[in-house]
């Protein structure tokens, strides 16, 4: 099971690297950059939720 999670993490981080590389393209249209930033934030949110289980006492 740990190998599966690690593989999923590897895929997510590979996607994150690809999105960051695309976002760094200075010739990209502002709308495309905004979409990439949104995708990156969703990916980071998903990864952070995997590693930090919900804890109601933290609110």
pTM over 0.75: no
In the block, tokens 């930033």 appear at: 37
What's the rounded Cα separation, in Å, for the pair 49 and 39? 15
End-to-end CA distance of the chain: 30
- What does the pLDDT look like over 9-44, one tens digit per residue? 788 788 878 877 776 665 666 777 778 788 888 888
What is the reported pLDDT for 9? 76
Q: What number of CA atoms fall less than 13 Å from residue 39's CA on the CB side?
A: 17
Confidence of residue 52 (pLDDT cuts 50, 70, 90): low
What is the reported pLDDT for 45? 82
């Amino acid at each position: 099971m740990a190998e599966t999670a690690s593989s999923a993490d590897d895929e997510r981080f590979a996607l994150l690297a690809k999105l960051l590389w695309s976002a760094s393209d200075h010739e990209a249209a502002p709308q495309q950059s905004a979409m990439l930033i949104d995708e990156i934030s969703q990916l980071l949110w998903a990864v952070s939720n995997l590693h930090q289980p919900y804890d109601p006492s933290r609110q």
